[in-house]
């Protein structure tokens, strides 16, 4: 069961990838769905056994690396945190596989797509069940590879190739810090296995590296690693571009699983972060800023998937600042509920795109809600959950995060709280902007497209409905377990809270206006969206005209891409030419080539003496003799 949950997706990927040619498109699709169903059964029962019946365990598979005290195994660690992730990932991934059967039915090479999906799920499962940092890194890079392949799935599109490369390289920047974090962890703790690291945290609290507390440095390095994968401010640029991949990919990778890896890492390493207060402060600031930044950009984008991508980025910011204030449980809770409603939003966006003949620009949609009512309904549910409207899943987790930030009673905590509130307002605003522009108003697509608007087939609708149920109820159902008064028993030590950390407890007793505020603000955001896009559609255009600078700033996503292009990409290309043409070809090669040239010139000069005439030789000899004899005589006479 424990092994099956992780390895069934790999089996499915292998079958679809290598035997797809013989199985045929349809069969290989269903084979991988079948493998995912098995994995989900294993995964959910593992969650029930480990999470609900408190039986953590480690399943060792084989030895991996063992060099001079640095020894790590291939092992699956099942505690509540990883079991919960396994259950969630296998469950959601199964429905995304199912959805893809419909969505990719017109594609040329569906077996390849399913092989990538299976590979991705496998890598994510290896990541969450890792028993040591190195195996976590295996999964970490594995999801990087799979997402590279999936984003660039349509490899004959230049934009897809560009986006996939960007995703891999930007992720690599984070991975470098992860690697360095591992190195320092090893030299600090003498081990990379979680159990051994955590056992020695107390003893190593005083350890220093280059004059700085080692735990702080480790935490910062790992956090920078997490920034890459979880698209935090600065390393977020790959995520919106990743929407070049097929929509199920966006749902799986860029919503429910891969981007949550960073949050998972920080929660997993909570025993170290708990003793790194400065690192946590940094996490809070970056997380809160990301939440705000992404929400502002989301308000002006026009690509339906891009808007949702920025909302993912923003929600990840929430999770990070929750961790920053010490409320790991709230962060993981939001990760869990977010996975459901974000997958739902992406898949319903996919359903819209499918209906609109692959149109993604919301300016060219509108007036289709009667034609695709089920998609419309589930999209509402997803948006309500995202905006944190009471009793939907997002309400419980987002409120919890904001309450935790407030309850932290620190300057950065309040900054996070304020940013979180603003972001909540903007989230509601852009979600309804998207809903209204996509579904309401007069149709803006051409007649040809409008004629073809149709509801998706059952194989796509069933996943939507299941995820909608998740977006409705996961919040209420799991609130008590994840962040309630008895969370300690549920987590069973999988998430560590130091004795000085009472944030979660305090979050339950904040002033009454705090839990109310997000709801009120979200409703205000919705109202504003209705005003702008339903009742007075001229306002947004006029606003954009009145404040062209701000509008352009947001439209260009705060100019991050342009900045990186100017600071990194272009100098890099120039440097490459410079090093090659000047450094290597002129300077380094110049020396030996120069010597060679001098040698051959000299040889040619000397060769001129070889005239072949005896008289010349005789003359030279005599001249030489004269000089020689004179020297001797001069020497004697002196």
Partner 1 sequence: MNAAGFPLLSLLTFLPLAGAVAILCIRGDEATVASNARWTALWTSLIVFVLSLILWFRFDPRVADAQFVEQLAWLPDFGVNYHMGVDGISVLFVLLSTLLTPICILASWEGVQHRVREYMIAFLVLETMMVGMFCALDLIIFYVFFEGVLIPMFLIIGVWGGQRRVYAAFKFFLYTLLGSVLMLLAILALWFRAGTTDIAGLMDVPVPANWQYWMFLAFFASFAVKVPMWPVHTWLPDAHVEAPTAGSVILAGVLLKMGGYGFLRFSIPLFPEASAFFAPLMFALSVVAVIYTSIIAFAQDDMKKLIAYSSVAHMGIVTIGLFTFNQQGISGAIFQMLSHGVVSGALFLCVGVLYDRVHSREIARYGGVAKIMPAFALVFMLFTMASVALPGTAGFPGEFLVITGAWRSSGWVALGAGMGMILGAAYMLWLYRRVIFSRITKNEVKGLLDLSPRELAIFAPLILLTLWMGLYPSSFTNVWEVSVAALIERHEAALSVPRLAGL
**Could you say whether residue 605 binds partner 1 (CB under 8 A)?**
no
Q: Exposed (0-12), middle (13-18) or buried (19+): which is 8, by Cβ within 10 Å? A: buried
Is 142 a residue that touches partner 1 (CB under 8 A)?
A: yes
The pairing of strands 70-78 and 212-213 is unpaired
Q: Spell out the alpha helix ranges (H) of 236-372.
A: 238-241, 247-251, 261-268, 270-273, 277-298, 304-324, 328-355
Asked if 617 is part of the footprint of partner 1 (rule: CB under 8 A), the reply reads: no
**Residue 579, interface with partner 1 (CB under 8 A)?**
yes
- Which 315-344 positions form the footprint of partner 1 (CB under 8 A)? none
Beta-carbon-side half-sphere exposure of residue 413 (alpha carbons within 13 Å): 17
70: Cβ contacts below 8 Å, ≥ 6 apart? 186, 192
Q: Which residue among 203, 206, 210, 500 contacts partner 1 (CB under 8 A)?
A: 210
Backbone angles phi, psi at 208, to 5 degrees: -125, 155
Interacting residue with partner 1 among 14, 105, 161, 302 (CB under 8 A): 161
Task: Give the residues across from 63 on adjacent strands.
Answer: 73
Residue 176 interacting with partner 1 (CB under 8 A): yes
Nearer to partner 1 by Cβ, of 228 and 350: the residue is 228
Phi/psi of residue 272, nearest 5 degrees: -85, -45
Minimum Å distance from CB 56 to partner 1? 25
CA 207 to chain centre: 31
CB-wise, 197 or 468, nearer to partner 1?
Answer: 197
The nearer residue to partner 1, 21 or 502, going by C-beta atoms, is 21
The verdict on 172 binding partner 1 (CB under 8 A) reads yes
Candidate residues 53, 106, 158, 513; the one interacting with partner 1 per rule CB under 8 A: 158
Q: Does 156 bind partner 1 (CB under 8 A)?
A: yes
Biggest alpha carbon distance in the chain? 123
Number of residues this chain uses to bind partner 1 (CB under 8 A) = 50
Find residue 132's DSSP bridge partners. 193
DSSP class of 372: S
- 577 counts as binding partner 1 under rule CB under 8 A: yes
Instruction: Tell me: does residue 180 bind partner 1 (CB under 8 A).
Output: yes
Nearer to partner 1, 127 or 435 (CB): 127
The 3-state DSSP class for residue 418 equals: helix
Applying CB under 8 A, does 22 fall inside the site for partner 1? no
List the interface residues with partner 1, window 287-306 (CB under 8 A): none
End-to-end Cα distance, the chain = 105
Select the span of 49-57, 402-410, 555-563, 575-583 touching partner 1 (CB under 8 A). 575-583
CB nearer to partner 1: give 125 or 182.
Answer: 182
Q: Which stretch binds partner 1 (CB under 8 A): 45-53, 153-161, 294-302, 617-625?
A: 153-161
Distance in Å, CB of 200 to partner 1, minimum: 18
Determine contact, residues 193/248, Cβ cutoff 8 Å.
no
Residue 612 φ/ψ, nearest 5 degrees: 90, -5
Q: Going by C-beta distance under 8 Å and a sequence separation of 6 or more, which residues neighbour residue 11?
A: 35, 118
Of 180 and 555, which has the nearer Cβ to partner 1?
180
> Least distance (Å) from partner 1 to the CB of residue 588?
5
**Which stretch in 84-92, 346-354, 577-585, 618-626 sits in contact with partner 1 by CB under 8 A?**
577-585
511-535: b (≥16 Cβ within 10 Å) or e = eeebbebbbebbeebbebbbebbee
Nearest CA-CA partner of 327 in 420, 193, 225: 420
DSSP 201: T
Indicate whether 62 belongs to the interface with partner 1 (CB under 8 A): yes
Q: How far is the CB of 13 from partner 1 (least distance, A)?
A: 13
Under rule CB under 8 A, which residues in 184-203 are in contact with partner 1?
184, 186-187
From 46-54, 63-71, 448-456, 532-540, give the range in contact with partner 1 by CB under 8 A.
63-71
Binds partner 1 by CB under 8 A, chosen from 23, 27, 55, 70: 70
- Which of 173, 459, 510, 523 binds partner 1 (CB under 8 A)? It is 173
Q: How many whole angstroms separate alpha carbon 339 and alpha carbon 304?
A: 18
For the chain, what is the total number of helices (H) and then of strands (E)? 29, 4
523 binds partner 1 (CB under 8 A): no
At its nearest, how many Å lie between partner 1 and the CB of residue 413?
Answer: 31
Which one among 30, 54, 200, 209 touches partner 1, defined by CB under 8 A? 209
Q: Figure out which of the listed residues 78, 103, 113, 137 binds partner 1, where binding follows CB under 8 A.
A: 137
- The stretch among 31-39, 180-188, 553-561, 612-620 that binds partner 1 (CB under 8 A) is 180-188
Q: How many CA atoms lie within 13 A of 409 on its CB side?
A: 11
Element holding 104 (H helix, E strand): none
Q: How far is the CB of 36 from partner 1 (least distance, A)?
A: 21
Cα 240 from Cα 298, distance rounded (Å): 10
State the pairing for strand pair 212-213/208-209. Answer: antiparallel
Which one of 206, 448, 486, 572 is in contact with partner 1 (CB under 8 A)? Answer: 572
Which is nearer to partner 1, 109 or 620 (by Cβ)? Answer: 109
Among 195, 511, 548, 583, binds partner 1 (CB under 8 A): 583
Tell me whether residue 488 or residue 583 sits nearer to partner 1 (CB atom).
Answer: 583
* DSSP calls for 111-173: HHHHHHHHHHHHHHHHHHHBSBHHHHHHHHHHHHHHHHHHHTSSTTSHHHHHHHHHHHHHHHH
Check residue 69 for interaction with partner 1 (CB under 8 A).
Answer: yes
List of residues contacting partner 1 (CB under 8 A): 62-70, 74, 134, 137-138, 141-142, 145, 148, 152, 155-156, 158, 161, 165, 168-169, 172-173, 175-176, 179-180, 182-184, 186-187, 209-210, 572-573, 575-577, 579-580, 583-584, 588-589, 592
């Amino acid at each position: 069961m424990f092994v099956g949950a992780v390895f069934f997706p790999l089996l499915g990927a292998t079958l679809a990838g290598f035997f797809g040619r013989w199985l045929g498109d349809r069969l290989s699709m269903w084979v991988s769905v079948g493998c995912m169903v098995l994995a989900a059964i294993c995964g959910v029962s593992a969650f029930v056994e480990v999470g609900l019946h408190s039986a953590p365990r480690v399943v060792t598979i084989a030895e991996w690396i063992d060099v001079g005290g640095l020894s790590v195994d291939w092992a699956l660690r099942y505690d509540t945190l990883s079991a919960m992730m396994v259950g969630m990932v296998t469950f959601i991934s199964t429905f995304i596989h199912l959805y893809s059967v419909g969505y990719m039915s017109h594609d040329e090479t569906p077996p390849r797509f399913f092989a990538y999906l299976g590979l991705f799920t496998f890598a994510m499962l290896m990541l969450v069940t890792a028993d040591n940092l190195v195996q976590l890194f295996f999964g970490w890079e594995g999801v990087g590879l799979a997402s590279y392949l999936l984003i660039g799935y349509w490899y004959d599109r230049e934009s897809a190739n560009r986006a996939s490369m960007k995703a891999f390289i930007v992720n690599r920047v984070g991975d470098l810090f992860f690697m360095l974090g591992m190195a320092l962890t090893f030299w600090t703790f003498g081990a990379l296995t979680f159990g051994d690291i955590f056992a020695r945290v107390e003893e190593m609290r005083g350890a220093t590296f280059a004059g700085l507390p080692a735990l702080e440095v480790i935490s910062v390095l790992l956090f920078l690693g997490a920034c890459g994968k979880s698209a935090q401010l600065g390393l977020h640029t790959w995520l919106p571009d990743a929407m070049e991949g097929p929509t199920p990919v966006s749902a799986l990778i860029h919503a429910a699983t891969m981007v949550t890896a960073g949050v998972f890492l920080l929660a997993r390493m909570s025993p170290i972060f708990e003793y790194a207060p400065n690192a946590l402060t940094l996490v809070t600031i970056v997380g809160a800023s990301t939440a705000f930044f992404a929400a502002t950009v989301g308000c002006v984008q026009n690509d339906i998937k891009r808007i949702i991508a920025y909302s993912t980025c923003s929600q990840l910011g929430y999770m990070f600042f929750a961790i920053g204030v010490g409320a790991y449980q709230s962060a993981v809770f939001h990760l869990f509920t977010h996975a459901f409603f974000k997958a739902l939003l992406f898949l319903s966006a996919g359903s819209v795109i499918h209906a609109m003949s692959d149109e993604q620009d919301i300016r060219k949609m509108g007036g289709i809600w009667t034609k695709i009512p089920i998609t419309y309904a589930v999209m509402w549910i997803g948006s309500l959950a995202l905006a944190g409207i009471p009793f939907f899943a997002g309400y419980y987790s987002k409120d919890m995060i904001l309450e935790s930030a407030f309850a932290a009673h620190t300057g950065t905590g309040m900054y996070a709280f304020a940013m979180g509130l603003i972001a909540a307002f903007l989230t509601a605003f852009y979600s309804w902007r998207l809903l209204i522009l996509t579904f309401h108003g007069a149709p803006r697509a051409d007649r040809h497209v409008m004629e073809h608007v149709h509801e998706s087939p059952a194989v796509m609708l069933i996943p939507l409905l299941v995820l909608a149920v998740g977006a409705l109820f996961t919040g209420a159902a799991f609130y008590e377990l994840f962040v309630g008064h008895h969370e300690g028993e549920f987590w069973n030590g999988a998430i560590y809270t130091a004795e000085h950390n009472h944030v979660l407890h305090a979050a339950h007793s904040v002033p009454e206006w705090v839990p109310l505020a997000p709801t009120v603000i979200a409703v205000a955001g919705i109202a504003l969206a209705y005003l702008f896009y339903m009742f007075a559609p001229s306002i947004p255009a006029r606003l954009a005209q009145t404040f062209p600078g701000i509008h352009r700033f947001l439209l260009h996503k705060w100019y991050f891409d342009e900045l990186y292009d100017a600071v990194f990409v272009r100098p890099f290309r120039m440097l490459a030419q410079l090093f090659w043409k000047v450094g290597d070809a002129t300077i380094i090669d110049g020396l030996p080539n120069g010597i060679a040239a001098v040698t051959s010139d000299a040889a040619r000069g000397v060769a001129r003496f070889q005239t072949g005439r005896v008289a010349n030789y005789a003359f030279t000899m005599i001249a030489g003799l004269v000089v020689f004899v004179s020297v001797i005589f001069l020497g004697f006479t002196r």
